[in-house]
Homo-oligomer: A and B are copies of this chain.
Amino acid sequence: MNPRGRYAVVGVGNTAYGKLAGRSAMSLSVEAVRNALADAGLRPADVDAVLTKAPTSNFTMLWSAQVAQAVGIVPQVTATLDQAGASNIGLVGYAMWCIETGQCHTAVIVYGDNPATGSRATYARPRGEGAAYGMFGVPPWYALIAQRHMHEYGTTSEQLGAVAVACRKHAAMNPGAQFQSPITLEDHHASRFVAEPLRLLDCCPISDGAAAIVVTSAERASGMRKPPVYVLGIGQGHPAWDVPYRSTLTTSGAATSGPMAFRMAGITPADVDVAQLYDCFTIVPIVTLEDYGFCAKGEGGAFVEQGRIALGGALPLNTSGGLLGETGMPGMQLIVEGVRQMRGECGGRQVPDARICVVSGQGGVMTTHATLVLGKEVP
């Protein structure tokens, strides 16, 4: 069956982003749920599913049940899904399955964490073979991918920089973003190396914060407080293997995840008005644009140049600033921005007449990938 247009996002909410000392992952999560429910015009009792990605810095069992308790919901459905940064989109799919088969009717999906001011142990685990060779956290692993992409396709550091510049430009137009100052290609070039070829400005920050969305059936969605934003397509594809052992480092799960979602939605990349592509590192949206078919393989570097992905360009990318500019949270903010763009709520950073938005999620070190196609209407 094709679930195209049968489900909708009816509420989005988030907390402040950045360094939020003294706020627990749970407290942030509850605040995001509260805000998403208020946006949807719903009370906790109107929701019967609580779905989560577990906090990266506090990967505990039955997290979703704990969140359900904290928001006062006795859920029919609750689950934590681990596909790393692809989990949020994965959970949209899980909500659709549960609603489609009558297991629940309205789901809230939430992610919250406080790695900036809490424990960030998870982000630089000092153990194991990688650590013995000096590979800590994720940046050196993404550096291997970036380096291979440069080797295979001639991608340049300036092209990576173009992604950072666009995201920071958009963040500066978003009052809720963690970074309020734009940067130039020169700033990017002047920033120190973290792991060659990646510079500091190629890397997203580690941030505190939470965001949540409410998903229900298209029938229930009509007549709610805000206009529904429809799920037109969803897909996933996961290279899964650790970076050294993968058959290719430069083609990601987007190569199957994207076409799957586009096919379900009945669209091609040419139909996309605005994109929110996971950008934990600048190389990732470049690879994703190629794998989604916005350009030929290897031409992602050229694609992001000359303002093409900035507001006003052919494909505005990460209009809230993305991970690089809005906040380093692993992806829920991209869905939230996608919904706001479809509603036309984005003020100075609104893409005019935007009707279709693609959102990507990915996690690990391009280990997982998920794609979501959102629509202002069901075309």
Contacts and interface: CB of A to CB of B under 8 A. Distances in A.
Interface of A: 1-3, 50, 54, 56, 59-65, 68-69, 73-84, 90, 93-94, 96-98, 100-103, 122, 234-242, 245, 247, 256, 260, 264, 363-364, 367-368
Contacts of A74: 239-241, 247
Contacts of A60: 59
A27 B167 CA distance: 43
Contacts of A59: 59-61
A3 B65 contact: no
State the oligomeric state as a number of copies.
Answer: 2
A238 B78 contact: yes
Nearest to A67: B240
B236 A68 contact: no
A52 to B, nearest CB: 9
Contacts of A364: 61-62, 65
Nearest to A60: B59
B368 A69 contact: no
A121 B101 CA distance: 38
Contact of A82 (B64, B103, B235, B264): B64
Contacts of A54: 82
A306 B307 CA distance: 78
Contact of A97 (B80, B94, B102, B256): B94
Contacts of A81: 79-82
A-B pairs, top 10 by smallest CB distance, nearest first, are A97-B97, A80-B82, A65-B240, A68-B240, A69-B241, A78-B238, A79-B83, A78-B240, A62-B364, A65-B367
A75 B83 CA distance: 12
Contact of A102 (B56, B245, B260): B260
Nearest to A68: B240
A82 B69 contact: no
